[in-house]
Amino acid sequence: MTIDCNWLGQYLNYITMNLYLSNISFHTTESDLIALFSRFGKVASATVMSDPSTGRPQGFGFVNIADDQEATAAMSALQGREIEGRKLSISVAREKSQGGPKDKPRPTTPRTNQNSTRHFTSRIK
């Protein structure tokens, strides 16, 4: 039996406004984001994205705020504000698109440098 655990994230996105934060400091934690955004309203969740293999922060994250008006107020107040030496950029998060580069076929290009290979091999003889 398989249990889909993604339902909680979908539910949070349905009842809250999900904000996408970019250009955040690599030292910013989830609790820092909660403290920053809680001044504008109830924060349902905050996530700082990190590289799965190294664990290092990637410089972006998400904040879910329960009320749309509070989220809009936070966006307008914090947009472009410098936090830990970096200007914060905030937008409403879009749903992740399905697929990706792995699903797209690689373009086939004609082989180049065939002439240079011929010249190289002719010099060896």
Model pLDDT for residues 58-96, shown as the tens digit of each residue: 999 999 998 999 999 999 999 999 989 999 999 999 877
CATH of range 8-93; options 3.40.50.300, 3.30.70.330, 4.10.220.20, 3.40.50.970: 3.30.70.330
**Does the pLDDT of residue 101 top 60, yes or no?**
no
8-21 pLDDT, tens digit per residue, is 555 555 567 899 99
User: Which tokens hold the place of 98?
Assistant: 């399905």
Domain ranges of the chain: 8-93
Residue that has been written with the tokens 């290092």 in this structure:
56
pLDDT of residue 45: 93
Residue 51's identity, in one-letter code, is D
Question: How much is the pTM?
Answer: 0.65
pLDDT of residue 100: 55
Cα–Cα dist 52/68, whole Å: 31
Q: Is 2 left (phi over 0), alpha (psi -120 to 50) or beta?
A: beta
